[in-house]
Amino acid sequence: MRAGGRPVGIDNSAEQLATAEALQQEFGLVFPLIHGNAEQVPLPDNSFDVAISEYGASSWCDPTLWIPEAARLVRSGGQLIFLRNSTLVELCTAPDAEAAGDRLSRPYADVARINRPDGGTHFQLPTGPMIKLLRQSGFQLDELTEYIAPANAHSDYGYVPPEWASTWPSVELWKATRQ
């Protein structure tokens, strides 16, 4: 905003939006916050130059719905940037486990839609199908970076122990341009 941008936030969690509103007040940056789902955003076509998801839509929404919706919302030449767990961390986390292990624990084909023990659903379209979906939706993949944590890293998230994350990639950063 201070640099001329016009951000909009969308989240399906009322609690997350309340936190965002409190932070807006604290830092004097007020912009629209929408209580909704990235699979169907109530905004017009070509609304954004950049769409970003940090473990939101990219983890909790069906990619066959949110990626085409992002393509609808992002102007030609605009970018889609998202972070998600690595496919490897999902493959190494057994269905009943609380943390990733050092062995493959589920079939590659079963990682696209993961039903969590707490009743939630997590989406992790494997790499090849994700690239295909991005292309079919009108995006060109610019970058896919897999991050391995430094050996001295620590984490507040128990599902990826620091030892695991410093050995294998636990995070993926995707950048794509709308054609």
Q: What's 71's domain CATH number?
A: 3.40.50.150
pTM above 0.95, yes or no: no
Tell me whether residue 63 is in a domain. yes
Task: Provide the residue range defining the domain that includes 97.
Answer: 37-178
Tell me whether residue 104 is in a domain. yes
d(CA 44, CA 65): 16
CA distances from 65 to 4, 20, 50 (A): 30, 25, 18
Tell me whether residue 6 is in a domain. no
Tell me whether residue 14 is in a domain. no
Number of domain units in the chain: 1
Tell me whether residue 71 is in a domain. yes
Tell me whether residue 49 is in a domain. yes
pLDDT value of position 124: 95
Q: Among 155, 170, 162, which residue's Cα sits nearest to residue 93?
A: 170
Residue type, 143: E
Blockwise average pLDDT, block size 10, the chain, 179 residues: 83 95 95 96 97 94 98 98 96 91 93 86 95 98 97 86 94 98
pLDDT value of position 41: 97
Dihedral of CA 71/83/133/61: which sign? negative
Who's near 98: CB < 8 A, 6+ residues apart? Answer: 158, 159
Beta strands in the chain (DSSP E): 9-11, 33-35, 48-54, 74-85, 113-115, 121-123, 139-147, 171-178
Tell me whether residue 5 is in a domain. no
CB half-sphere exposure, 157, CA atoms < 13 A: 10
pLDDT value of position 19: 97
pLDDT value of position 158: 85
Rg (CA), the chain: 17
Percent of residues in the chain assigned helix, strand, coil, to nearest 5:
30, 30, 45
Q: State which H helix or E strand residue 30 sits in.
A: none
d(CA 107, CA 109): 5
Who's near 121: CB < 8 A, 6+ residues apart? Answer: 60, 113, 114, 115
pLDDT value of position 101: 95
Tell me whether residue 111 is in a domain. yes
